[in-house]
């Protein structure tokens, strides 16, 4: 947990960091967020995270609270105050504080920027990847614009909780028998021919920044990538499965529901991609 947080221009001890009760993020989930990883002081995929944050703000017509250079300075100071060099940084921007009304507040209402940082243990993540994890399929009941990284995450929360209660690390979201993504990550399979398959970008998935870098890593490794929808049945019959996110990198999957994937061990393609991803974004 953060010892210090950033709230609208001020660094405060986390226990004293608050925003107004009429913040539209609290009352309407009217805001966006990003999570970026820093390893040994190095930003991982920050260009992509910042670009996606800007896109999410544009889609919701929220003004950016500060520019990129200022944001990076604030993050550096946040890490310094929390005595962290390897961390997960949470960035949230809401439409601001205004009397409760479904309509947007008056022009000029300043957005609210909040940031926290917490320790990220890369060694624990690597150990988890070497073992592989289980997914539990859940119905995808989210709204129709999940390509915007909003703070309206209740369906994701419910899916991930149900997955945890089933002994799984993540929820595999399924709509009309088609896998969209996971509750907080993008889903992938490897077919018997060795081709990587992941759902195409669009309104029905959040285009992951780690997803994009994984595609670039696959190209460098001469691994074919096919962006298309696949079914839950295909996933369970795949040669490999894994998911990608800023907090998990490339995480091998060894079981979906009660079905063991291939031989029940992390697959070689996933592990190669994980190492390639780490080399690309985490190395000094």
Position 2 scores a pLDDT of 72
How high is the mean pLDDT of the chain? 96
> What percent of the chain has a predicted confidence (pLDDT) above 90?
98
Segment 56-67 mean pLDDT: 97
Strands 112-119 and 186-190: unpaired
Q: Is the pLDDT of residue 39 over 80?
A: yes
Model pLDDT for residues 87-106, shown as the tens digit of each residue: 999 999 999 999 999 999 99
For 190, list phi and psi in degrees, rounded to 5. Answer: -120, 120
Position 1 scores a pLDDT of 66
Segment 78-94 mean pLDDT: 97
**Residue 236: both structure tokens together:** 């369970």
Segment 249-274 mean pLDDT: 98
Q: Is the pLDDT of residue 3 over 80?
A: yes
Segment 268-281 mean pLDDT: 96
Sorted by where each starts, the structural domains of the chain and their CATH numbers stand as 4-120 (3.30.470.10), 125-281 (3.20.10.10)
Active-site positions? 149
């Amino acid at each position: 947990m953060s010892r210090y947080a950033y709230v609208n221009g001020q660094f405060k001890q986390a226990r004293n960091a608050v925003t107004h009760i009429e913040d539209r993020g609290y009352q309407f989930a009217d805001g966006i967020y990003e999570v970026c990883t820093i390893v040994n002081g190095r930003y991982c995929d920050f260009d992509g995270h910042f670009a996606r944050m800007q896109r999410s703000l544009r889609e919701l017509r929220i003004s950016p609270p500060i520019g990129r250079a200022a944001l990076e300075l604030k993050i550096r100071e946040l890490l310094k105050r929390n005595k962290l060099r390897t961390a997960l940084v949470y960035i949230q921007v809401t439409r601001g504080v205004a009397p409760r009304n479904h309509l947007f507040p008056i022009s000029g209402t300043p957005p609210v920027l909040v940031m926290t940082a917490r320790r990220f243990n890369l060694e624990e993540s690597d150990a988890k990847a070497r073992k592989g994890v289980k997914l539990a399929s859940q119905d995808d009941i989210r709204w129709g614009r999940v390509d915007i990284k909003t703070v309206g995450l209740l369906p994701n929360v419910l899916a991930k909780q149900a997955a945890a209660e089933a002994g799984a690390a993540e929820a595999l979201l399924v709509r009309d028998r088609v896998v969209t993504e996971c509750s907080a990550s993008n889903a992938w399979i490897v077919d018997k021919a060795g081709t990587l398959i992941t759902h195409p970008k669009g309104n029905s998935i959040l285009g992951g920044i780690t997803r994009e870098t994984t595609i670039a890593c696959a190209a460098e490794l001469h691994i074919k990538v096919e962006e298309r929808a696949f079914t839950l049945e295909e996933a369970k019959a795949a040669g490999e499965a894994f998911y990608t996110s800023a907090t998990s990198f490339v995480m091998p999957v060894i079981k979906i529901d009660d079905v063991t994937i291939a031989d029940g061990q992390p697959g070689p393609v996933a592990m190669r991609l994980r190492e390639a991803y780490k080399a690309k974004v985490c190395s000094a």
